């Protein structure tokens, strides 16, 4: 029954997010439309959180509980973890002891898009003198544009920065290996 509810929710979300704007909404500033959509999403999320709260109630979902436990476990800059990089043939390429959490190369501190006024718009040509806005790609902090490659990054216990773009296994306890990794690094904690 829960699967059907989730399926129906996803269909409704898809339909509402893809529905064409009516003429009155199309004439408004796009930031107002964005705010309306965000308010609808917040209202929906509030309902779902109310239906399945994650704290302070006897009603909860195991998925939300697991997500909360994962965040509590890894949201510690001094957390020691163990990452095993796996090659395409299943061999362990490398094994590292890490400090902190593994992060996606496509995580950013700022949004990837921003709303700007259309620089080619002449307000005198539009009813009400209002120009539309455009959704533009935002630059990263270094001023560059585009996406990073797929993969993860992490820091070893000595502060060494590492990236990996393949399969990996992460654990907060070391695992017993049946074969030595192909590559090792002897990190000294700072």
pTM greater than the 0.75 cutoff: no
E-assigned strand segments in the chain: 80-86, 92-99, 103-104, 113-117, 133-137, 152-155, 161-164, 167-171
Domain boundaries defined on the chain: 1-75
**166 in Cβ contact with 87 (< 8 Å):** yes
Q: What pLDDT digit, counting tens, does each position of 55-95 carry?
A: 555 666 889 889 999 999 999 999 999 999 999 888 999 99
**73 in Cβ contact with 172 (< 8 Å):** yes
Q: What pLDDT digit, counting tens, does each position of 17-28 carry?
A: 444 444 344 444
Q: What pLDDT digit, counting tens, does each position of 121-179 carry?
A: 877 777 777 777 888 888 877 788 888 789 999 999 999 999 999 999 999 999 998 88
């Amino acid at each position: 029954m829960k699967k059907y509810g989730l399926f129906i929710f996803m269909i409704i979300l898809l339909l509402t997010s893809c529905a064409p704007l009516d003429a009155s909404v199309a004439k408004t500033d796009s930031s107002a439309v964005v705010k309306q959509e965000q308010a609808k999403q917040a209202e929906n999320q509030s309902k779902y959180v109310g239906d399945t709260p994650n704290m302070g109630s006897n009603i909860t979902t195991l998925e939300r509980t697991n997500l909360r436990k994962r965040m509590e476990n890894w949201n510690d800059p001094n957390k020691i973890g163990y990452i095993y990089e796996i090659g395409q043939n299943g061999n362990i390429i490398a094994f590292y002891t890490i400090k902190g959490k593994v992060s996606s190369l496509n995580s950013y501190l700022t949004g990837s898009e921003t709303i700007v006024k259309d620089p080619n718009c002449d307000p005198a040509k539009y009813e009400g003198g209002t120009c539309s806005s455009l959704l533009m790609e935002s630059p990263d902090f270094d001023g560059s544009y585009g996406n990073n490659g797929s993969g993860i990054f992490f820091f070893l216990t000595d502060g060494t920065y590492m990236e990996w773009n393949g399969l990996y296994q992460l654990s907060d306890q070391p695992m017993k290996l049946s074969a030595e990794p192909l590559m090792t690094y002897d990190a000294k904690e700072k």
